[in-house]
Amino acid sequence: MWIRLRQIALVAADLHKVSTEIGGVLGVEACYMDPAVSVFGLKNTLWPIGTQMLEVVTPFKDGTAGGRYIERRGGDGGYMVITQVDDVAHRRARAAELGVRVAYDLHYPDEGHDGIQLHPGDTGGSFFEMDQMLMPGGDEPGGPWYPAGDNWEPYVRTERVSGISAAELQSPEPERLAKRWAEIAELDLVDDDDGHPTMAFENATVRFVPDSDGRGEGLGGIDLITEDRDAILEAADKLGCAVDDGQVAIAGMRMYLR
């Protein structure tokens, strides 16, 4: 039984501004806008980073979960940790066993996709989504990925960044949050070199850290596998996104250059 980090979703008030920053700083090319998210009162754009995806969603009407999330956390920020699994039926059963609600059932077998979005009120931190690809080749690393459409591969640009190697969840109680996610994912926790609890997916890690920015519990950062740090930092400086030589800030997210 495996689990992979396949997509990170951010929520932002201004999709055009954030899109300019993501493309300009990270050197990635947008591949898809999903009309299905309109049912949630959202519009979106996705960018492939290697075989993973970075997504930004923006509310276009009042009363959306995304809009409430922006209000609660005081601005743009991380929204979802989206994973690929090999047995979503088992994951549904595990969530039910733990009393974790399914916020939205992504059951589209005719499209080769079956998945669950777990309720952030029960997981803590952010939405935790688990998707299984049912189409031919769906289990392969870097294989088909329904949320990004059926033609994302030609848009992959890896000159500056080539992957997402970690998601960073912050909390006033990171150990409690880590234990909750680990029991949902059925993974062990191991402290990293800085003493932060982490759990390992097949292709990335999830790191749990103290809330140090005063924004409360949430998805606060990602680690990017960096191919051209100088180009990233130069572009980030021009667009006002630079933090230091190891980090840029886009859409309220800490993006660490690894």
Q: Are residues 183 and 214 in the same domain?
A: yes
Structure pTM?
0.97
DSSP, res 32: B
Q: Are residues 149 and 189 in the same domain?
A: no
Asked whether the beta carbons of 253 and 10 are under 8 A apart, the reply is: yes
- pLDDT tens-digit series, residues 161-185: 999 999 999 999 999 999 999 999 9
Q: What is the CA radius of gyration of the chain?
A: 17
Q: Are residues 18 and 99 in the same domain?
A: yes
Q: What are the tokens at 190?
A: 């191991």
Coil, helix or strand at residue 113: strand
* Per-residue pLDDT, 63: 87
Q: Are residues 215 and 109 in the same domain?
A: no
* Per-residue pLDDT, 102: 97
The residue range of the domain holding 206 is 161-257
The last residue of a domain, from among 111, 135, 155: 155
Total domains, the chain: 2
The last residue of a domain, from among 104, 121, 155: 155
Give mean pLDDT in consecutive 10-residue pieces for the chain, a chain of 258 residues.
98 97 98 92 97 97 89 95 98 98 94 97 96 97 96 98 98 98 98 97 98 95 98 98 97 98
Q: Are residues 14 and 57 in the same domain?
A: yes
Q: Are residues 147 and 175 in the same domain?
A: no
Give the CATH number of the domain where residue 140 resides: 3.10.180.10
The last residue of a domain, from among 110, 134, 155: 155
* Per-residue pLDDT, 1: 93
